[in-house]
Amino acid sequence: MGSRALHQQTSNRQRLNRALRIVSCVILLSLLAYGIDWQAMPGYLARLSWQGTLLSTCALAASFVISPWKWQAALKIHDLHFKLFYLVTSNGIGFFLNNFLPTGIGGDAYRIMSTWPKEGYRSRAISAVVIERIVGFAALLAIGNIGAFALMAHSRTARVFILLSALGGLLGGALVLAVYAGWVKALTERLRSATFVDAVRHNFQYLRHAGRKWLPLLAISLLFQTIAIANIYILFQSLGTPVSWALCAMLGAVAGLATLVPLSINGLGVVEGSFAGTAMALGIEYEAALAVAVLIRLLVLPASLAFGVWYALDPPRCRYGQDAPGFQLKIPTTAVPSQASER
């Protein structure tokens, strides 16, 4: 098959995937709208206080700084050093792409591209984003499970959440143990010559030798997720719906996990549905929960659009990693293999 035909086939698959996501999004939003008591919804929104809305907006604005700060910590683990302002703009533009492209990968791909190094293993930029994501989800699950433990005596949903989290942790632990114990040695030996495996091994050495560099990433991830959960709490209180922090922690964890489901544009409909469904299982009215989920989505749009305008007016600003003025090259000092191969 020629390169032109292969390119056409790839484009057709992308268009089909985009169309399916759009259709899925419409179906999910229609189902959510069908379950709303439209006579009750205006009453909820009328109770929304401007103080709560302002405080929620400030919390969401803070996340646009804390998230790239977290990313900066992950990059430092891989000996990639960027100024925070540069990462704020790159992260914001990536967020804009996630919100207005029919895929959740566009934003992360942009972030990787904006920190793509010229020298050494280029896959460090990929590894940094992956590690930042994994640590972030781990922090969210940890907080969510703390909330679930507080609710488990009176909530079957909380007990199921804890059970599923434990099973997931055991599965992940078994996989790591299998690799370390050499149980999958035959597979790893066959893959050893593959370029991407060599890059993964190299990046793993950065992770092993990071030492105290892990602490900022862990601390900032916990701060980021705490603020996200606090924002849920603020909006519920603003709507006059009493909820506990433990309940909001569980809702935040479920909504975060729902973003991993690749069914719609940026999880639209999936996140709101999982949020409202879990809230109902925990005793919260459907309309109040859905109002909070929709408000979170709407309140981040102005900032997202602002970064889109930034990108439109100054497109080269965050495109070329080390070519950008925010990059500061530092020579690795940790005990990491020093191959010059660029992977």
Going from N- to C-terminal start, the domains of the chain cover 61-323
**What is each CA distance from 15 to 4, 11, 106, 109, in whole angstroms?**
16, 6, 15, 18
Residue 90: is it exposed, middle or buried by C-beta count within 10 angstroms (0-12/13-18/19+)?
A: buried
User: How far, in Å, CA of 30 to CA of 269, rounded?
Assistant: 9
Task: Say which residue, 92 or 103, is predicted with more confidence.
Answer: 92
User: How far, in Å, CA of 192 to CA of 172, rounded?
Assistant: 22
Amino acid identity of residue 269, one-letter, is G
User: How far, in Å, CA of 143 to CA of 136, rounded?
Assistant: 11
Amino acid identity of residue 89, one-letter, is T
- Find the mean pLDDT for residues 59-81: 94
Band (18; pLDDT cuts 50, 70, 90): low
As a whole-number percent, the residues of the chain with pLDDT over 90 amount to 31
pLDDT given for residue 218 in this prediction: 96
Residue 93: is it exposed, middle or buried by C-beta count within 10 angstroms (0-12/13-18/19+)?
A: buried
Classify residue 37 as left (phi > 0), alpha (psi -120 to 50) or beta: beta
Q: What is the mean pLDDT of the chain?
A: 79
- 168 pLDDT higher than 50: yes
- 253 pLDDT higher than 90: yes
Band (287; pLDDT cuts 50, 70, 90): confident
Buried b (16+ CB within 10 A) or exposed e, 236-257: bbbbebebebbbbbbbbbbbbb
Residue 9 exposure: Cα atoms within 13 Å on the Cβ side: 6
Which token pair is 328? 């500061």
Question: 165, 250 in Cβ contact below 8 A?
Answer: no
Q: Tell me if the pTM is above 0.85.
A: no
Buried b (16+ CB within 10 A) or exposed e, 183-197: eeeeeeeeeeeeeee
